[in-house]
Amino acid sequence: MENFRRNAVLVLKDGTYFFGRFVGYRGETWGEIVFNTGMTGYQEILTDPSYHRQIVVMTYPHIGNYGVNSFDVESDSPKVSGFVMREISPYPSNSDSEKSLREYLIENKIVAIDRVDTRKLTRHIRDHGAMMGIISNKIDKIEELKKEVQKLPDMVGLDLSVEVSSREPHTVINIENPIYNIVALDYGIKWNILRLFAERKAKVTIMPYTVTVDDIISMKPDGIFISNGPGDPGATLHAVRLIKELIGKYPMFGICLGHQLISIALGGRTYKLKFGHHAVNHPVKNLKTGKIEITSQNHGFAVDPNSLPKDVEISHINLNDKSVEGIICESKNIMAVQYHPESGPGPHDSRYLFDEFLGMIK
């Protein structure tokens, strides 16, 4: 790598460290280090609540080329703990660009560094697994940072949904003459999910994690949607208890964390993946149609297929590692997928799932 003025360091829990330079907010942050292989979609990644308490490493070497706009966002603000790049683009070029990525990171106080050997870092995570890390300006106190990172909690056992969930019931998109009335349990919902429901004339009321069964029944929903979100599904017990009470009462659809929570509520178990799935190119096979879908994914946990009860059918599998990517329980009108069919960012191959859920309601 070429010479540069290093003023930041990333220290991993196993003692490995990488020097870089601050290109975002100059401060200290911590989180689980994960890598994302997407060539585009950095703005959606930054604002995805599922990345809460994670430091995202972008494997594509040049990030920020097309700048930042006000509509390619997945929540009201960036949710990542930190951002790591090989090189940030100082001069964005796009007709929709409203500001540079660097300006956006500083404005939202996101600690970000570049000039990191992201290829070496990604290979390290792939070989040794996702782990906690710290980005700091204490480049001359590496040993002190190594001790600090040892004190950080691992992702297993962390219920982070309560930190990103809405605080009050609300709607993001108003629909005139809606056909469907959907209640969404918000554990870190992405806005493109809401946009795709809106395109299908479905009104979605977003409910906070504190919602009760009586609250939901009073709204007379046609169906229940359980959102994506961060953290360990096995620790998100408040959501599992709520979903158990709702099963059988309404058609139900879950995405990502929602898929995991539904699986646990049905009697299944989840486990931690070595380094997770964070990309926009994972091949998934629909076992009913035999078709292969290229999918967008962002999760660190997966459902144990051997733990699912007999009335739950595996509908989709990941062709890279054969992990469970979808389930159906026809007797209880439930469907759920591990990946992100709302394609924000990513391919549109799986948007049909929204139509299937609304068809289930019909």
C-alpha dihedral sign at 134, 137, 138, 139: positive
Q: Quick one: DSSP state of residue 104? A: H
Q: What angle do CA 344, 348, 351 make, to 5 degrees?
A: 95
| Among 52, 256, 259, 325, the one annotated catalytic | 256
Check residue 2 and give its pLDDT: 53
| Among 52, 282, 316, 340, the one annotated catalytic | 340
325 is catalytic: no
329 is catalytic: no
pTM of the model: 0.96
Q: Is the peptide bond before 345 cis (omega within 30 degrees of 0)?
A: yes
H or E element, residue 246 = helix 237-246
342 is catalytic: yes
Beta strands in 137-269 (DSSP E): 180-185, 202-207, 223-226, 252-255
CA 169, CA 186: separation in Å to the nearest integer?
9
CA 256, CA 143: separation in Å to the nearest integer?
37
Q: Which strands sit side by side in the sheet containing 252-255, from one edge to the other?
A: 202-207, 180-185, 223-226, 252-255, 334-337, 324-329, 313-318, 270-286, 292-303
Reduce the DSSP state of residue 214 to 3 states and report it: helix
| Radius of gyration for the chain, computed over Cα atoms and rounded to the nearest angstrom | 20
C-alpha dihedral sign at 89, 94, 96, 98: positive
Question: What are the chain's domains?
Answer: 8-150 (3.50.30.20), 161-361 (3.40.50.880)
Check residue 1 and give its pLDDT: 45
Contact 79/191 with Cβ under 8 angstroms?
A: no
Give the pLDDT of the chain (362 residues) as one tens digit per residue: 456 689 999 999 999 999 999 999 999 999 999 999 999 999 999 999 999 999 999 999 999 999 999 999 999 999 999 999 999 999 999 999 999 999 999 999 999 999 999 999 999 999 999 999 999 999 999 999 999 999 999 999 999 999 999 999 999 999 999 999 999 999 999 999 999 999 999 999 999 999 999 999 999 999 999 999 999 999 999 999 999 999 999 999 999 999 999 999 999 999 999 999 999 999 999 999 999 999 999 999 999 999 999 999 999 999 999 999 999 999 999 999 999 999 999 999 999 999 999 999 99
Contact 231/158 with Cβ under 8 angstroms?
A: yes
Check residue 335 and give its pLDDT: 98
Give φ, ψ of 5 to 5 degrees: -85, 100
Check residue 5 and give its pLDDT: 83
Check residue 135 and give its pLDDT: 98
CA-nearest of 82, 84, 73, 75 to 49 is: 75
Q: Quick one: DSSP state of residue 154? A: P
Beta strands in 140-201 (DSSP E): 180-185
